[in-house]
Amino acid sequence: MSSSSSSAPPRALKIGIIGFGPFAQFLVETMLKQGHSIRATSRSDYSEQCARLGIPFIRDMHEFLQSDNEVILLCTSILSLSEVVKSIPFQCLKQPTLFADVLSVKEYPRDVLQQALPPDSDLLCTHPMFGPESGKNGWKGLTFMYEKVRIRNEAICSSFLQIFSSEGCRMLEMTCEEHDKLAARSQFLTHTIGRVLAEMHIEPTPIDTKGFEKLFQVKESTVKDSFDLFSGLFTHNRFARQQLKNFEIAFENVKQKLLNRMNE
Amino acid sequence: MSSSSSSAPPRALKIGIIGFGPFAQFLVETMLKQGHSIRATSRSDYSEQCARLGIPFIRDMHEFLQSDNEVILLCTSILSLSEVVKSIPFQCLKQPTLFADVLSVKEYPRDVLQQALPPDSDLLCTHPMFGPESGKNGWKGLTFMYEKVRIRNEAICSSFLQIFSSEGCRMLEMTCEEHDKLAARSQFLTHTIGRVLAEMHIEPTPIDTKGFEKLFQVKESTVKDSFDLFSGLFTHNRFARQQLKNFEIAFENVKQKLLNRMNE
Ligand SMILES: NC(=O)c1ccc[n+]([C@@H]2O[C@H](COP(=O)([O-])OP(=O)(O)OC[C@H]3O[C@@H](n4cnc5c(N)ncnc54)[C@H](OP(=O)(O)O)[C@@H]3O)[C@@H](O)[C@H]2O)c1
Ligand SMILES: NC(=O)c1ccc[n+]([C@@H]2O[C@H](COP(=O)([O-])OP(=O)(O)OC[C@H]3O[C@@H](n4cnc5c(N)ncnc54)[C@H](OP(=O)(O)O)[C@@H]3O)[C@@H](O)[C@H]2O)c1
């Protein structure tokens, strides 16, 4: 699709954000720079932060839905998605709307939203494979995964994708299922190891090897994300449990090899 | 000590190397560049490799010991050290000699060598905290740990240390005990995680996060070292076993937190 080429500047969109936590705030910075019109709602009160950014914070969900959004972007935690979606009074929507989400698991929001959305709303499931830490110096070369689950208004969808492609993201179209399989083996495993290292309270030593420095960085960036996020990666990705088992089995094998070798 | 300052070029030493495996070959490259005179012996036959480097490979241990070495550098595997030391006919030494080792554990070679060396030999225990991978673009800024266990000939010892300081290594004097405590928490833990990841056959995915890329690098560089090396880190560092336990406990805690959260 030529309209989503990475060089074209994205057309200004009216984007409503549900869930104004750390990741939403990180995304909004770039969206505002690009000239989009943003408004936000969230469980907690972010009116001060929004005032500082010069965007409206709309506490009331009815009012938020009626505020003429072309895109509604779900940035809530994985664990709260179902509850948050239940609380959305979809009948207040004034027009067919593109719903998009950025949850770090993908089959789950796809299913929840396909069930809950009005039939005339579009659905784009996405996962930016980066965060406030890895994306702090720009998004160039960072991966943006998406699946067009149900798109009729291609123009709006493509303008939304251009938010990321125009920053140089590597755009990767992939099914939600394929995403969850791969993410369990990579991202979930990484968070698990990061949490184990945090649990061990690892700290730099004067004799760190390059390898240990990398593990320390993994630990540091893992614990910057909420435990809810980690927990969501496990609870709502059906492939995660097997990875946890695989890790346990692999550890047991390595331990046995060490003990066998020692007793040789 | 001004004689070990990092700018002075090291004086040419006659260095005999016992154990001509991957790490010794890596070290020798730099030693030859610096103009030292090297000869080697090993369990396996390295006469071809040595011929290519223009250095003598002396198969016979008696002949090797009589070949006028100022420094004898032990580069054998941790697991074979005691056997190798037992096979050294120390009575063949023609002069008081500096023995140095580069084993990745430190209390163990200190103890073995203190017991075995002739009383007039000096002993320097060292651990270059880098290898063929992390040191492939030079040694600048990489850490070199050492303990002067028993040094009378300060000049030779200091010339030997200059091999590393003159390349820009961060020289760190530390007891063997302190080294082993810290290395169990950093290097051994890193190798353990690298081996577990290898056991799981982790591979890059199209949606790798920066964190996962780091884990993959850790796995790649861990498996480049021999299993003997990893095994030695465990068997001959008395602090390693506790770290393995800590890792297991921390994993169990993280797993329990995930399961508890899921059942909330
Ligand atoms: N952080 C990253 O690097 C990253 C990268 C890619 C994707 N993501 C995804 O982006 C989303 C947001 O991530 P995050 O890092 O900001 O942290 P998070 O802890 O995953 O989510 C925080 C957000 O969830 C909302 N929330 C939590 N519990 C709630 C509840 N019971 N009811 C209503 N809202 C609730 C919070 O609202 P309040 O703040 O109003 O309380 C906040 O907006 C997640 O789905 C995550 O998987 C994150
Ligand atoms: N690789 C690194 O990055 C690194 C960094 C710092 C320190 N070190 C230390 O450097 C030493 C050498 O390491 P490496 O990486 O070369 O691999 P390694 O597997 O730890 O040791 C290989 C060396 O041990 C010798 N060896 C093994 N078993 C033996 C036996 N039964 N009898 C006699 N010799 C035996 C081998 O001799 P042959 O080849 O002749 O069979 C070879 O010279 C180790 O103590 C290691 O801890 C390694």
Q: Which residue segments constitute the domains of chain A, with CATH numbers given?
A: 2-174 (3.40.50.720), 179-263 (no CATH)
Which residue owns the Cα nearest ligand 2 atom 48? B23
pTM over 0.90: yes
Confidence (pLDDT) at B153? 97
Confidence (pLDDT) at A264? 85
CA A253 to chain centre: 34
Q: Whose structure tokens read 């720009």? A: A138
B146 vs B258: CA distance, rounded Å: 43
Query: Hey, are the CB atoms on A234 and B258 less than 8 Å from each other?
Result: yes
Residue A261's closest CA among B242, B180, B79? B79
Q: Any residues with CB less than 8 A from the CB of B261 and at least 6 apart, and which?
A: A227, A231, A234, A235
Q: Cβ(B103)–Cβ(B49) under 8 Å?
A: no
What Cα–Cα distance (Å) separates residue A225 from each residue in A92, A184, A233, B103, B187? 33, 17, 12, 39, 26
For chain B, say whether A130 makes contact (Cβ under 8 Å): yes
Which neighbouring-strand residues pair with A147? A125
B43: left (phi over 0), alpha (psi -120 to 50) or beta: alpha
A48 vs A95: CA distance, rounded Å: 29
CA distance from start to end of chain B: 63
Q: Mind listing the pLDDT tens digit for each residue in B89-130?
A: 999 999 999 999 999 999 999 999 999 999 999 999 999 999
Confidence (pLDDT) at B3? 38
The CA-based angle A8-A12-A17, given to 5 degrees, is 120
Q: Any residues with CB less than 8 A from the CB of A138 and at least 6 apart, and which?
A: A167, A168
The CA-based angle B135-B138-B143, given to 5 degrees, is 60
Band of the pLDDT at B83, cuts 50, 70, 90?
Answer: very high
* Mean pLDDT of the region B29-49: 98
Confidence (pLDDT) at A210? 95
B23 vs B76: CA distance, rounded Å: 9
For chain B, say whether A136 makes contact (Cβ under 8 Å): no
Which residue owns the Cα nearest ligand 1 atom 30? A80
Chain A: give the shortest CA distance to residue B88, in Å.
24
Report A:218-257 residues touching B (Cβ under 8 A). 218, 221-222, 227, 230-231, 234-235, 244, 246-248, 250-251, 253-255, 257
Residue B16 DSSP SS3: strand
Structure tokens at B53: 């480097």
Which neighbouring-strand residues pair with B171? B144
Q: Which amino acid is at B105?
A: V
When computed from its CA atoms, the radius of gyration of chain B, rounded to whole angstroms, is 20
A187 vs A129: CA distance, rounded Å: 9
* Mean per-residue pLDDT over chain B, rounded: 95
Q: How far is the CA of A224 from the centre of ligand 1 (A)?
A: 12
Question: Of A7-11, B62-66, B214-218, where does mean pLDDT reach its minimum?
Answer: A7-11
For chain A, say whether B116 makes contact (Cβ under 8 Å): no
Evaluate if residue B250 carries a pLDDT over 50. yes
Query: Hey, are the CB atoms on A185 and B202 less than 8 Å from each other?
Result: yes
Ligand number with the minimum distance to the CA of A229: 1
Query: Hey, are the CB atoms on A199 and B127 less than 8 Å from each other?
Result: no
* Mean pLDDT of the region A88-97: 95
B173 vs B147: CA distance, rounded Å: 6
Q: Mind listing the pLDDT tens digit for each residue in B229-243?
A: 999 999 999 999 999
Which residue owns the Cα nearest ligand 1 atom 42? A21
DSSP letters of chain A?
-GGG-SSSPPPP-EEEEE--SHHHHHHHHHHHHTT-EEEEE-SS--HHHHHHHT--B---HHHHHTS--SEEEE-S-TTTHHHHHHT--GGG--S--EEEE--S--HHHHHHHHHHS-TT-EEEEEEES--TTTTTT--TT-EEEEEEEE-S-HHHHHHHHHHHHTTT-EEEE--HHHHHHHHIIIIIHHHHHHHHHHHTT----TT--HHHHHHHHHHHHHHHS-HHHHHHHHHT-TTHHHHHHHHHHHHHHHHHHHHHHHT-
Structure tokens at A92: 């207040």
Q: Mind listing the pLDDT tens digit for each residue in A16-73?
A: 999 999 999 999 999 999 999 999 999 999 999 999 999 999 999 999 999 999 999 9
DSSP letters of A111-167?
HHHHHHS-TT-EEEEEEES--TTTTTT--TT-EEEEEEEE-S-HHHHHHHHHHHHTT
Q: Cβ(A174)–Cβ(B206) under 8 Å?
A: yes
Residue A43's closest CA among A72, A12, A75, A71? A75
CA B200 to chain centre: 27
Pocket of ligand 2 (CB under 6 A): B 19-24, 42-44, 75-78, 80, 83-84, 102-104, 128, 131, 225-226, 228-229, 232
Pairing between β-strand A122-128 and β-strand A143-150 as defined by DSSP bridges: antiparallel
Structure tokens at B132: 């063929």
B29 vs B50: CA distance, rounded Å: 11
Evaluate if residue A181 carries a pLDDT over 90. yes
For chain A, say whether B209 makes contact (Cβ under 8 Å): yes
Query: Hey, are the CB atoms on B244 and A255 less than 8 Å from each other?
Result: yes
Residue A166's closest CA among A22, A25, A31? A31
Evaluate if residue B7 carries a pLDDT over 80. no
Residue among B207, B218, B231 whose CB faces A182 most closely: B207
Evaluate if residue A8 carries a pLDDT over 70. no
Q: What are phi and psi of A237, to 5 degrees?
A: -125, 110
A73 lines ligand 1 (CB under 6 A): no
Pick the residue from chain B with its C-alpha nearest to A263.
Answer: B235
How many C-beta atoms surround the C-beta of residue A87 within 10 A? 11
